């Protein structure tokens, strides 16, 4: 049985844009956060591909990863994830092959099968490309061939890319990628930071379908976890209202720019919206270090996860840094 001190812990940064803030400020904050969590002992720093969202500045994921890797020295940096239906596999192989060539041994390539946007934006991204989520298994296999060793009969190569063997992860919020990751023998990250409902089933499907590969000899599960850690439970509850407002805006189709915390959410959401936000954040760790430790102990006991990746969308950057610092103290015991 795993204990909390056995678990690796990482950061997923959604590069949030503040109300009256700028993308430039958010990108600089992302690097500052990466530098801090590197010192705190975090294993990875991932950013996710989203498009047409005014509150998230990580759309050019591979470009941002170059900036983050260049400003850090030991922490792994990667995508959590690249939405592969939006891209030709060769392009992603070249981008991540370039990153791996510049920062060897520090790059992760997490892949998702959703568009990371609405359908209109997906069409704008792809233009004449016919890519869809249905092509995902074939696209993953093609991408991995480009990153693997060059074969004598290979007519198309990724340069840089070929022979780099960038670690590939499959990401998912449903059961499809769980089964595929298992069959391919790849590490699997479940998006329980926004879709906790299927978490236990996805873990079961992944482990049951797992076949040892050149990459892994046994399953490796990472779980996404929302985080709001503060010195007291009361302070954490207050800071979390920024997160609640952001999820509420997402559900209403409104602007996702970060809003400052409020004393109460009463009057801001309807009862059914409060319940929906609660379901979305079902795995959220909100509270003081003591409260969070107790909840994490239960999570590890129930899932036996190998790694947890935390996302923390607080309004003040200093509060985010402090939240990750408190979590590191909890994880290290």
**Number of folded domains in the chain?**
1
What digits encode the pLDDT tens for the residues 191-235? 988 888 899 999 999 999 999 999 999 999 999 999 999 999 999
Query: Domain for residue 290, yes or no?
Result: no
| Residues 251, 265: Cα–Cα separation, whole Å | 15
Q: Which pair of tokens denotes residue 294?
A: 């107790």
- Domain of 78, CATH number, reads 3.20.20.30
For residue 227, what are its two tokens?
A: 């985080």
In a domain, 43, yes or no: yes
Nearest to 324 by CA among 62, 9, 114, 6: 9
**Residue 311 included in any domain:** yes
Residue 274 domain-assigned (yes or no): no
Task: Check pLDDT > 80 for residue 114.
Answer: no
Backbone φ and ψ of 219, nearest 5°:
-60, 150
Residue 153 lies in a domain: yes
* Structural domain includes residue 264: no
- The verdict on residue 74 lying in a domain is yes
User: What is the extent of the structural domain holding 181?
Assistant: 8-229+306-322
The reply to whether 185 falls in a domain is: yes
Cα dist. 301→3, 280, 283, 296 in Å?
A: 8, 22, 14, 8
Average pLDDT over the chain, rounded to whole?
93
Number of neighbours of residue 3 by Cβ within 10 angstroms: 10
The string of pLDDT tens digits covering residues 149-196 is: 999 888 999 999 999 999 999 999 889 999 999 999 999 999 988 888
């Amino acid at each position: 049985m795993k204990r909390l001190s056995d678990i690796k812990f990482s950061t997923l940064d959604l590069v949030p844009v503040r109300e009256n803030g700028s993308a430039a400020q958010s990108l600089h904050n992302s690097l500052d956060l990466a530098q801090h969590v590197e010192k705190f002992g975090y294993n990875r720093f991932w950013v996710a591909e989203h498009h047409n969202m005014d509150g998230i500045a990580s759309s050019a994921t591979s470009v941002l990863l170059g900036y983050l890797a260049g400003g850090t020295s030991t922490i792994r940096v990667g995508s959590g994830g690249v939405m592969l239906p939006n891209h030709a596999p060769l392009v992603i192989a070249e981008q991540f092959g370039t990153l791996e060539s510049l920062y060897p041994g520090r790059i992760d390539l997490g892949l998702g099968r959703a568009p990371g946007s609405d359908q209109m934006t997906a069409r704008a991204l792809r233009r004449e490309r016919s890519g869809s989520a249905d092509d995902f298994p074939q696209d993953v296999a093609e991408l991995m061939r480009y990153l693997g060793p060059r074969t004598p009969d290979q007519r198309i190569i990724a340069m840089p890319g070929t022979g780099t063997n960038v670690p590939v992860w499959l990401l998912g919020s449903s059961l499809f990628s769980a089964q595929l990751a298992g069959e391919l023998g790849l590490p699997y990250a479940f998006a329980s930071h926004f879709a906790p409902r299927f978490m236990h089933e996805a873990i079961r499907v992944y482990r049951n379908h797992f076949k040892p590969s050149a990459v892994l000899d046994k399953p490796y599960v990472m779980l996404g976890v929302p985080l709001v850690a503060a010195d007291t439970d009361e302070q954490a509850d207050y800071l979390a209202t920024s997160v609640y407002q952001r999820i509420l805006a997402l559900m209403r189709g409104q602007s996702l720019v970060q809003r400052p915390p409020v004393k109460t959410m009463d009057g801001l959401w309807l009862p059914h919206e409060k319940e929906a936000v609660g379901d979305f954040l079902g795995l959220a760790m909100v509270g003081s270090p003591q409260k969070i430790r107790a909840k994490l102990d239960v999570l590890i006991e129930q899932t036996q996860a190998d790694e947890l990746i935390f996302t923390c969308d607080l309004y003040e950057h200093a509060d985010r840094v402090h939240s990750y610092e408190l979590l590191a103290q909890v994880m290290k015991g």
